[in-house]
């Protein structure tokens, strides 16, 4: 467990959980098995990169699964897809980024620049199909904002082992259990991507943003972070 300390993209709270005193064994149910670890986490989503968007998220996490998650957002680029993910890193700050991470001083924080704050992607919040980090750039399966608004919900999302999450060992592999435990403890960051910087109603390759650092075939407007909040 780590120390305290905005597509498609890569690109993560104070939680009430059953605890035992130091040195005691796990809490057991009446059948003698370890009790389920279930928490409800909430996040207030605030704008990044001057998106003007806002939102909320609620997730019910039980053991190594997100039993249910809802994300409501408004003020987004209208009628456009918005990648969204849960980020976490054992060696990240597990908070939302600020312009202090704008390493090339272009006035915006792109997805990669934000990783020291929120960590890599551990869950892709797609509308259907795979939810692992492998789907973090699958634009066709992320929610589309209608008139700048979307309401997303999904059930039964399993946590998986994720390399590069900063744990000791080969590839920094974090197990599903390690990641789930940390998310339950309030270290998961929900990020929604997609910022229409020039206000023309679509994602394009206009200067100064041009192509995304994640994929040269995608405009940076499609992958830059627009909203962020810590699940607590």
Alpha carbon distance 123, 160 (integer Å): 8
The domain that holds 125 is classified in CATH as 2.60.40
Residue 3 lies in a domain: no
Give the strands of the sheet with 38-47, arranged side by side. 121-124, 84-87, 188-193, 225-231, 38-47, 54-62, 65-74, 150-158
Alpha carbon distance 169, 172 (integer Å): 5
- For position 207, what pLDDT does the model report? 65
This prediction has a pTM of 0.85
- pLDDT one-digit tens code per residue, 167-206: 998 899 999 999 999 999 999 999 999 999 988 888 999 8
Q: How much is the average pLDDT of 26-30?
A: 41
Alpha carbon distance 165, 156 (integer Å): 22
Residue 28 lies in a domain: no
Query: Residue 222 belongs to what H/E stretch?
Result: helix 220-223
Residue 34 lies in a domain: no
Beta bridge partners of 57: 43, 71
Give the residue numbers spanning the domain of 90: 39-231
Residue 199 lies in a domain: yes
Residue 6 lies in a domain: no
Model confidence at 122, pLDDT cuts 50, 70, 90, reads very high
Residue 201 lies in a domain: yes
Q: And the tokens for 74?
A: 């408004």
* pLDDT of 8 higher than 60: no
Which of the two residues, 14 and 59, has the higher pLDDT score? Answer: 59
Q: How much is the average pLDDT of 75-95?
A: 97
Q: And the tokens for 99?
A: 């312009």
Alpha carbon distance 212, 55 (integer Å): 24
Residue 159 lies in a domain: yes
Count the domains in the chain.
Answer: 1
- pLDDT one-digit tens code per residue, 158-169: 999 999 999 998
Residue 18 lies in a domain: no
């Amino acid at each position: 467990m780590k120390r305290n300390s905005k597509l498609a993209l890569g690109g993560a709270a104070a939680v009430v959980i059953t605890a035992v005193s130091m040195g005691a064994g796990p809490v057991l149910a009446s059948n003698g098995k370890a009790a389920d670890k279930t928490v409800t986490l909430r996040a207030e989503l605030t704008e990044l990169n001057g998106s003007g968007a806002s939102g909320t998220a609620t997730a019910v996490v039980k053991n190594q699964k997100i039993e249910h998650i809802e994300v409501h957002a408004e003020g987004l680029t209208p009628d456009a897809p918005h990648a969204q993910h849960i980020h976490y890193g054992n060696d990240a700050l597990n908070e939302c980024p600020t312009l202090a991470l704008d390493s090339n001083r272009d006035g915006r924080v792109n997805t990669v620049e934000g990783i020291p704050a929120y960590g890599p992607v551990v869950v892709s919040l797609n509308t259907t199909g795979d939810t692992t980090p492998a789907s973090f750039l699958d634009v066709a399966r992320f929610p589309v904002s209608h008139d700048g608004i979307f309401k997303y919900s999904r059930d039964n999302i399993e946590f998986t082992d994720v390399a590069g999450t900063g744990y000791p060992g080969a590839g920094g592999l974090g197990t599903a259990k390690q990641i789930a435990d940390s998310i339950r403890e309030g270290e998961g960051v929900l990020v929604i991507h997609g910022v229409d910087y020039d206000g023309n109603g679509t994602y394009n390759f206009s200067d100064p943003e041009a192509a995304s650092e994640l994929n040269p075939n995608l405009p940076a407007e499609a992958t830059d972070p627009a909203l962020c909040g810590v699940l607590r």
